[in-house]
Amino acid sequence: MANRQAFLFGYSKRSTFITKELRKNGFDIIIIVSDTQSFEKAKEHGYLDVIKIDMTDDNALENLQVTEDDYLVCVMEDSHFNVFLTLSLRSLFPISKIIALSDSFHVTQKLKMAGASKVIDLYQVSANRIYNILNKPIATKLIGNLLSPEENLSIREIDIPEDSLLDNIMVDDFDFSQHGVILVGMIDRRLSNQFLFVTSGLEHRLDRGDMMVCIGYNDDLDRFEKYVKTTY
């Protein structure tokens, strides 16, 4: 099965983590920049597919040969240009999934109106982190460890395939701790395509096609994912 492909528009300090995570999760990364400095920096960091174009030119964008299965990630440092780019990409590629970074509530609203499929609000992320530092120090330390390159803890998305041993099992009836992982939440296809935290109070059943988000050490997650994909 071919890797998924992501076009990342812009390359800066706040986008380096995103590129690493995408590549770690099986994406082929194509970095699009408009200046020589960003081009050289991406090359220095080991990215082979780096393209320098004029992002205000629709013809140049269209020549990227984006398919409807590709992800388009807008991480330009200029928030106004990020909105403009999102609008252009949505017009050129109406079916593709567009992810955009925002640094304010107003920019978030503009990005959604411009056609972004998902907006990552950096301001809200920062506000939540400050709240957690003050009110949930243990949870904050855990998340800090997860994001630290020195730790082998991870957050992983695990899909439940057809005829999985977990198919048709109630969440409360399954002991995730025996596998060394913690279930954070899931997308329950029977209810909606929205992510639901396990603390939402709803009783969930695991079904084929559902997606679980789990925390654990990489080795435990590998074993658990193999278990989930074991069929009858």
Residue 201 CA to residue 192 CA, distance in Å, equals 15
**Does 61 have pLDDT greater than 90?**
yes
Average pLDDT over residues 56-84: 92
Average pLDDT over residues 77-102: 92
Residue 153 CA to residue 166 CA, distance in Å, equals 23
**Does 98 have pLDDT greater than 60?**
yes
Residue 207 CA to residue 210 CA, distance in Å, equals 6
Sheet holding 27-33, edge to edge: 50-52, 27-33, 4-9, 71-74, 97-102, 118-121
Of 111-115, 125-129, 226-230, least confident by mean pLDDT is 125-129
User: What is the percent of the chain where pLDDT is above 70?
Assistant: 81
pLDDT at position 36 is 94
**Does 28 have pLDDT greater than 80?**
yes
What predicted TM-score, i.e. pTM, was given to this entire model? 0.56
pLDDT at position 232 is 65
Residue 191 CA to residue 184 CA, distance in Å, equals 17
* Domains along the sequence of the chain with CATH: 4-126 (3.40.50.720), 153-228 (3.30.70.1450)
The torsion angles phi and psi of 44, rounded to 5 degrees, stand at: -60, -35
Place of tokens 């059943």: 205
pLDDT-based confidence at residue 226 (cuts at 50, 70, 90): very high
pLDDT at position 231 is 75
Of 45-54, 78-87, 139-148, 204-213, least confident by mean pLDDT is 139-148
**Does 126 have pLDDT greater than 50?**
yes
pLDDT at position 224 is 94
Of 23-27, 37-41, 146-150, 183-187, least confident by mean pLDDT is 146-150
Residue 79 CA to residue 116 CA, distance in Å, equals 13
Contact 47, 31 (CB under 8 A): yes
Contact 50, 31 (CB under 8 A): yes
pLDDT-based confidence at residue 26 (cuts at 50, 70, 90): confident
